[in-house]
C-alpha cells in the first residue's frame, strides 16, 4: 500500500514594486535539479518551520498582527501567525529581502557593510545555524507583519511527491533593499511586469505552475503597488483551492479546478500519491 504524502503548511510572498514602466513583481527560477517544480519561475516561499511557531520570543519581535487576528484572517482556530512569520523568513532566505523595522523605521540595507552583515544572517538562517528570532534580538529588529496582505489559498493536488497547503501574500518591496536569488534552491531572479511574465509564459519562455499563474493574473491590469494593496485590502472570504489531476490513457496529466467539468469525479478518484511530479 502506497503511503500518503504529507501536506505541509507553507507561505509564499509576491513582492511588488513600482518600476520605471509600471508595476513589477519579483520572481525566482528554481534550480533545474530540484525535486519540486524544477526550472519553474516562482515567488519566494516555502514550508513553515518549527521556529515560525508562536512562542514568547516571537511575540516580542513581531509587530502589526497577533495570532488571534492572523488566525481569523486564515479561517483557522490558532497558529495563523506562523504563516506570516514564515512568509517573512522565506522572503529573506530566498530573496534576501527582510520585511522588518528598526527604531520605528523600515529596515534599509543600502549601506554595503550592513548589506553584507545581513547576508551573513541570511545564510545562517537558511542553514539552520540560527533563527529569525535570534537575528532580531541581536539587531534590535521587529518583523513588519503589517506589510503583508493575505490574498489566496492553494493546496497541491494528490499526485505530486511533495504537497503543500500554501497561503499566498503580497507585500511592497522595502526601499533600500536589493532582492536576489540564493544561488542554491534558486538560480535566477528578475523583476518583471506581471503582463510580461504572462506573455512569456504563454509563449513557452517563462515556465510557471498553475498557482503562480493564477496569482499573477489579478495583477496584470494593475499599474502600481498602491493599486495592488488596495485590491488586497478589499479581499474577503478567500476560498481554499484544491486542484484535481486526471491522468489520460497516454499518461499525460490534466489539472482541473473547482467548477470545471469533471472536477468532482477527478477529486473522488485521484491518482495514487507520488504518481505525478
Q: What is the DSSP letter of 3?
A: P
**Grid coordinates in use for 199?**
506573455
- DSSP-assigned beta bridge partners for residue 105: 102
Helix (H, G, I), strand (E, B) or coil at 275: coil
Could you give the CA distance from residue 45 to residue 186 in angstroms, rounded to a whole number? 11
Integer Rg of the chain from CA: 19
Residue-wise pLDDT tens for the chain (277 aa)? 456 788 999 999 999 999 999 999 999 999 888 777 888 999 999 999 888 776 666 777 887 788 899 999 999 999 999 999 999 999 999 999 999 999 989 999 988 999 999 999 999 999 999 999 999 999 999 999 999 999 999 999 988 888 999 999 999 999 989 998 887 788 899 999 999 999 999 999 999 999 999 999 999 999 999 999 999 999 989 999 999 999 887 878 899 999 999 999 999 988 887 666 5
pLDDT at 277: 57
Residue written as grid cell 482541473:
256
CATH node for 7-237? 3.90.79.10
Residue written as grid cell 531572479:
189
- DSSP-assigned beta bridge partners for residue 143: 62, 100
- Beta carbons of 263 and 244 less than 8 angstroms apart: yes
- Beta carbons of 256 and 246 less than 8 angstroms apart: yes
Ramachandran angles phi, psi of 153, nearest 5°: -140, 115
Q: Residue ranges of the domains in the chain?
A: 7-237, 243-277
**In whole angstroms, how far apart are CA 82 and each of 48, 89, 106, 256?**
7, 10, 21, 30
**Per-residue three-class SS string for 41-95:** EECCEEECCHHHCCCHHHHHCEECCCHHHHHHHHCCCCCCHHHHHHHHHHHHHHH
Q: Is the pTM of this model over 0.85?
A: yes
Could you give the CA distance from residue 155 to residue 62 in angstroms, rounded to a whole number? 27
Q: How far apart are the first and last CA of the chain?
A: 19
Other residues' Cβ atoms within 10 Å of the Cβ of residue 215: 22
DSSP-H helix ranges across 156-274 = 194-202, 210-216, 225-233, 263-268
Residue written as grid cell 493536488:
157
pLDDT at 1: 44
DSSP-H helix ranges across the chain = 56-60, 67-74, 81-95, 112-127, 132-139, 194-202, 210-216, 225-233, 263-268
- Beta carbons of 171 and 43 less than 8 angstroms apart: no
Amino acid at each position: 500500500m502506497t503511503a500518503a504524502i504529507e501536506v505541509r503548511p507553507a507561505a509564499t510572498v509576491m513582492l511588488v514594486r513600482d518600476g520605471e514602466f509600471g508595476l513589477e513583481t519579483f520572481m525566482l527560477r528554481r534550480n533545474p535539479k530540484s525535486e519540486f517544480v524544477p526550472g519553474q519561475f516562482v515567488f519566494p516561499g516555502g514550508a513553515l518551520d518549527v521556529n515560525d511557531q508562536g512562542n514568547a520570543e516571537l511575540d516580542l519581535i513581531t509587530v502589526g498582527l497577533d495570532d488571534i487576528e492572523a488566525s481569523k484572517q486564515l479561517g483557522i482556530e490558532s497558529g495563523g501567525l506562523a504563516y506570516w512569520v514564515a512568509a517573512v523568513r522565506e522572503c529573506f532566505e530566498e530573496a534576501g529581502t527582510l520585511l522588518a523595522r528598526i527604531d520605528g523605521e523600515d529596515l534599509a540595507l543600502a549601506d554595503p557593510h550592513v548589506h553584507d552583515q545581513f547576508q551573513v544572517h541570511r545564510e545562517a538562517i537558511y542553514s539552520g545555524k540560527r533563527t529569525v528570532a535570534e537575528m532580531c534580538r541581536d539587531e534590535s529588529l521587529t518583523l513588519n507583519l503589517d506589510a503583508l496582505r493575505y490574498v489566496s489559498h492553494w493546496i497541491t493536488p494528490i499526485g505530486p511527491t511533495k504537497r503543500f497547503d500554501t497561503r499566498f501574500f503580497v507585500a511592497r518591496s522595502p526601499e533600500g533593499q536589493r532582492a536576489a536569488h540564493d544561488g542554491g534552491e534558486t538560480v535566477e531572479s528578475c523583476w518583471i511586469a506581471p503582463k510580461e511574465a504572462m506573455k512569456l509564459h504563454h509563449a513557452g519562455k517563462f515556465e510557471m505552475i498553475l498557482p503562480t499563474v493564477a496569482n499573477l493574473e489579478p495583477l496584470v491590469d494593475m499599474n502600481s503597488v498602491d493599486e495592488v494593496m488596495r485590491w488586497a485590502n478589499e479581499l474577503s472570504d478567500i476560498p481554499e483551492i484544491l486542484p484535481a489531476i486526471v491522468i489520460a490513457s497516454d499518461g499525460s496529466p490534466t489539472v482541473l479546478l473547482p467548477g470545471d467539468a469533471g472536477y468532482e469525479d477527478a477529486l473522488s478518484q485521484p491518482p495514487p500519491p507520488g504518481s505525478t511530479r
